[in-house]
Amino acid sequence: MEFNKIFAAVLLAGIIGMATGIVADMLVSPEPLKENTFKVDTSAIASAAPAAGPAAAAIPPIAPLLATADPTAGQALSKACAACHTFDKGGANKVGPNQWNLVGAPMGHKDDFNYSTAIKKKHEEGAHWTYEELNEFLAGPKAHIPGTTMTYAGMKSEKDRANLIAWLRTNADTPEPLPSPDAAAPAAPAGGAEPAPKSGG
């Protein structure tokens, strides 16, 4: 008997709640807005969006500096590369390949060194270590040839790069002819070795 009373009370409360909801909906029926009453002007936000950053500055040609470059100063600079490279004829490979006869050489030409995939690809494409290639590679190896295993951060001084390249040029049986001082990018010659100082390749 008590159970029936409880059940009836719950049922009655549910019916009252439902009826109240129906009546409330009939009395209050708001219409949805067709548009926001408070408009936000987004044009200023769009115009304030930052523009794309400027492209990285191009590296000036090295040819004009090579005419007055100092190979002796370049040899002194090469000491920082000696932990990873040798420069003498017939020298052993280290972390990076031997650099004898580098200037003008095909990239990745040494059969006894395991080059990075990036350098192997350059070799397949017929790329050479021209004066300008060396200049840009030494300025930032990973920026110039993405994927190289060379860990050197880069030589920022144009004068230092010119001196180092002038010295590298002397490490050959027949040094590569110097480019004309007003030459922007000499044509790729044929020759003998592989990447530049300080680590892999």
Domains identified in the chain and CATH numbers: 63-170 (1.10.760.10)
Look-up: residue for tokens 């049922």? 11
Extract the tokens encoding 164: 């180092």
Return the number of other C-beta atoms located less than 10 Å from residue 10's C-beta.
10
**Rounded Cα–Cα distance for residues 106 and 121 (Å):** 12
pLDDT by residue, tens only, the chain of 201 residues: 666 667 666 666 667 766 666 655 666 655 655 655 555 555 544 444 444 444 456 899 999 999 999 999 999 999 999 999 999 999 999 999 999 999 999 999 898 999 999 999 999 999 999 999 999 999 999 999 999 999 899 999 999 999 999 999 999 999 999 998 876 544 444 444 444 444 445
Q: In terms of pTM, does the model score above 0.85?
A: no
**Rounded Cα–Cα distance for residues 108 and 193 (Å):** 7
Question: What's the pLDDT score for residue 36?
Answer: 57
The DSSP 8-state label assigned to residue 182 in this structure reads: T
**Looking at beta carbons, which pairs linking 25-31 to residues 24 or more positions away fall under 8 Å?**
none
